[in-house]
Amino acid sequence: MKQSTLYTKTRKTLPKDEVANNATLLLKSGFIHKEMAGVYSYLPLGLRVLKKIERIIREEINSIGGQEIFMTALQDPKIWKKTDRWSDEMVDIWLKTRDEEFGLGWTHEEPLTSQMRHHIQSYKDLPVYAYQFQTKFRNEPRAKSGLLRTKEFVMKDLYSFNADEDGLNKFYEIAQKAYMRIFDKVGLGKSTYLTFASGGAFSKYSHEFQTLCEAGEDTIFVDKKKKIAVNKEVLNATVLKDLGLNRKDLIETKAIEIGNIFKLGTRFSKSLNLTFKDSKGKEQLVVMGCYGIGPGRLMGTVVEVLSDKDGMIWPESIAPFKVHLLEFKKGRGANLYRELIKKGVDVLYDDRDASPGEKLKDADLIGIPLRLIVSEKTGNKVEFKRRESKTAKLLTQNEAIRKSL
């Protein structure tokens, strides 16, 4: 894409109430736009990142048997009353329309469990794994963390329906591994820990995926050798014993929760009467689990973890473009741009009327991983540099193209 045709510009002034580093960088670079506190729109560069993250998640969830659906934001109070999650006393983040006619979904156990009554009758219909990428609404009182905590966000929520606890436990392990593959692919694998957190009526723990980061809202205790962590909210002597951990091996640190998996058991199938006939013809309750990732929060976390003082540093897997081609003299990059496009390279071509200084500054801010520069100085060669590297190399055009593939 030619940067001269990209409608967004980098910005110097920011909304006064913005404090989070991820929001500051994403706003400055024109990846997102702030509508209100905790409410952000995605602009062309930001949406490209979001879509790439979604694609990675989709592939992994499909690979473990997930079937994609798309439920609605508008929620019917009737079914939420059955599970006792409609009242503001039980759930304090509901956004509801006037006269409480509709709720705006903050999760989707209720409508999906209810829907499954049409599709699950026999043990032969199980298991079912259904997921969606869909907008959630949560009336978050403290929306000060940019994309890390918002009132409206797309969530990948997966729900599992099994015949028994054993089936749930096996799928839970499989989902856990798929989650780690996702975090690896978006560049957060090394800094992300499987973290034991509070469970519910059905299971002792739920599991969070926590990424070590000073900007995080959570406090966790990490055992770096064992590669597991415990959320502060559940840390006590019993838990340490349970998990075979030693308090002195644990380091206290701030972290961002980038995923959460939860064994729901029969909590919802019981309230909403989702049953099946087992192989002996006996009526049984379906056993459920749920598995969430917010692609936008993942994006914000990558910015928090991988940026430097000059801007963002995107991993190739989710970068808005793989290559940023900068020309310091009008038209000088046109030929190389054509060649890159011909080879199918995902390239942003800075063909704007702007000074080299401005272009370099914007390129650092935007954070595309590979950079090519053509100028008077480079002659018929091309300067090649990785965004995070201090040193550049002078390559022939063919070498530069090869490095960009």
Rounded Cα distance between 34 and 25, Å, is: 12
- Is there binding between residue 74 and a copy of itself (CB under 8 A)? yes
| Touching a copy of itself, residues 150-169 (CB under 8 A) | 151-152
Residue 162's contacts (CB-CB under 8 Å, 6 or more residues apart) are 126, 127, 168, 171, 286, 287, 288, 289
Host H or E run for residue 74: strand 74-75
Does residue 8 belong to the site contacting a copy of itself (CB under 8 A)?
yes
| Token couple for 169 | 């436990």
Closer Cβ to a copy of itself, 41 or 389, answer by number: 41
Which pair of tokens denotes residue 241? 């014993």
Q: Which of 40, 205, 268, 328 binds a copy of itself (CB under 8 A)?
A: 40
How far apart are CB 159 and a copy of itself at their closest, in Å?
11
Nearest of 388, 214, 384 to residue 314 by alpha carbon:
388
Q: Are 94 and 88 in contact (CB under 8 A)?
A: yes
Closest distance between a copy of itself and the C-beta of residue 38, in Å?
A: 9
- Choose which of 5, 236, 279, 391 interacts with a copy of itself (CB under 8 A): 5
DSSP state of 281: S
Residue 331: Cβ-neighbour burial (10 angstroms; 0-12, 13-18, 19+): exposed
Least distance between a copy of itself and beta carbon 312 (Å): 19
Terminal-to-terminal C-alpha distance of the chain: 16
User: Rule CB under 8 A: which of 82-121 touch a copy of itself?
Assistant: 95-98, 100, 102, 104, 111, 115, 118-120
The residue among 49 and 313 lying less far from a copy of itself, judged by its C-beta, is 49
Q: Select 149 or 207, whichever has its Cβ closest to a copy of itself.
A: 149
For a copy of itself, the binding residue among 2, 24, 73, 284 (CB under 8 A) is 73
Which positions lie near a copy of itself, rule CB under 8 A?
A: 5-9, 11, 30, 33, 35-36, 39-44, 47, 50, 65, 67-76, 95-98, 100, 102, 104, 111, 115, 118-120, 125, 128, 130, 135, 137, 151-152
